[in-house]
Structure 1
Amino acid sequence: MKMKFEPAMLKSYFIAGTQDIKDNRPLEEVVKQALEAGISAFQYREKGPTSLTGESKLALGKTLRSLCADYHVPFIVDDDVELAMQISADGIHVGQKDERVNKVIEQVGETMFVGLSCDTKAQVDQANQIAGISYLGSGPVFPTGSKADADPVIGVDGLAKLVQLSQRPVVAIGGITEENIKELPATGAAGAAVISMIAQSDDIFRTVNVMNETV
């Protein structure tokens, strides 16, 4: 059953792979807790020197995919069309440096929705011309430690400008914490996408609650 994209899915958007869990908990345990706490979307992003590959990446993807289905929460794959299609993901997210978004849209057709990272006015202007994109991810809004190749920080003002320019809903990403998330509603962003804020939270229920009550 294909899940149709809704902007509300961006409200509390959790992104993670095994590389983001700093203690010994299995990723599926953290994702299950986040689902129980009420996240609105989950993106499987298995990237980095310690991340899984091949069969083990696929097996974990299948487990997480069925977990998300149990909670009726969209399951999104980061930048891996083949994997996304193998496990019937609801959506795929691509970056500016990943596979060209037009090619991805062509490959997935109507089978899943597509998100695109856009961090500059030029990138948003270009995305506005492309049919088939459901939402944009913009940031980093605040300094972040989760991505080694993170782009320069755009700040709250920069995010607000991109939200105004975009013809599609925008989810804020990068360095979001339980404290600074309070600055996001004023930008018009549809939600917050986070890695560490949930993956390294000492109380996932509290964290997700803050996200759902704030943005």
Structure 2
Amino acid sequence: MKCDKKDLLLYAVTDRSWLGDGTLGSVVEKALKGGATFIQLREKELEYGKFLEVAKEIKSLCKNYHIPLIINDNVDIAVAVDADGVHVGQNDMEAGNVRELIGKNKILGVSAQTVEQAVLAEKRGADYLGVGAVFPTGSKADAEDVSSETLKEICKAVSIPVVAIGGISKDNVMELSGSGICGIAIISAIFAQIDIEKATSELKGLTEKMVTA
């Protein structure tokens, strides 16, 4: 499958920091029920076997809801579970190399903080860009801030869809109106909430307003 702009409206990035008594599968399903349109499985600490097991479970869930599943950073896992694609950062495997490994029919997302990085990522085969951090965030210690001006410039410089990430919540999502993005990527504003399904649904409604404002 290829990347459809509307699939990127509400892009949920997993994080097991707030699991509590729940499982990753149970919280992802709540986000899917609430209307998440895209799931990125992000696991920085799991060893390969456990990561593979989790990826298979999340793949099965996403398939049931007809929502694309992207694996963060790990091309081997993405290929092993036949995920819909891979997302890589600037310090991960180079986008062109990832494209060769996953083939032309899988989705490739690339993180970018500058217009130069964005243009290069598109040239090397990216299907969409994750741009941020657009607001201060606690989820990624190394996240660089991207100004609203840079975000707009990136959206104008590329023809592929752009998703904003970093510190986005229901309180500030409308500030991104008019930037040119087609959606938002969310971690804590979904997965750190007590009622994940409700939080996802509220954010989706606000994001729909924001992208058309």
Settle same-fold status: TM greater than 0.5: yes
Residue equivalent to 1:15: 13
83, 89, 96: which is aligned to 1:95? 89
Q: Is the 8 A contact 1:156 1:183 kept in 2?
A: no
Report deviation, 1:9: 1.1
Give secondary structure in 1 for the equivalent of 2:79: helix
Q: Is the 8 A contact 1:163 1:170 kept in 2?
A: yes
151, 154, 157: which is aligned to 2:149? 157
Q: Could you tell me which amino acid in structure 2 is paired with residue 26 of structure 1?
A: T
- In 2, Cα distance between equivalents of 1:140 and 1:146: 10
**Alignment partner of 1:145 is 2:143:** no
For these two proteins, the number of residue pairs brought into alignment is 207
Report deviation, 1:89: 0.3
Report deviation, 1:206: 2.7
The unaligned stretches of length 5 or more in structure 1 are none
Report deviation, 1:201: 1.2
Q: Is the 8 A contact 2:19 2:27 kept in 1?
A: no
Q: Could you tell me which amino acid in structure 2 is paired with residue 37 of structure 1?
A: G
**Alignment partner of 1:135 is 2:132:** no
Residue equivalent to 1:56: 50
* Counterpart mapping for 1:1-215 below 5 A: 3-18=1-16, 20-47=17-44, 51-130=45-124, 132-151=125-144, 153-215=145-207
Q: Could you tell me which amino acid in structure 2 is paired with residue 7 of structure 1?
A: K
Report deviation, 1:111: 4.2
Worse-superposed segment, 184-193 or 68-77: 184-193
- In 1, Cα distance between equivalents of 2:31 and 2:137: 21
- In 1, Cα distance between equivalents of 2:58 and 2:84: 12
Q: Could you tell me which amino acid in structure 2 is paired with residue 187 of structure 1?
A: S
- In 1, Cα distance between equivalents of 2:104 and 2:120: 21
Q: Could you tell me which amino acid in structure 1 is paired with residue 10 of structure 2?
A: S
- In 1, Cα distance between equivalents of 2:202 and 2:176: 12
The unaligned stretches of length 5 or more in structure 2 are 208-213
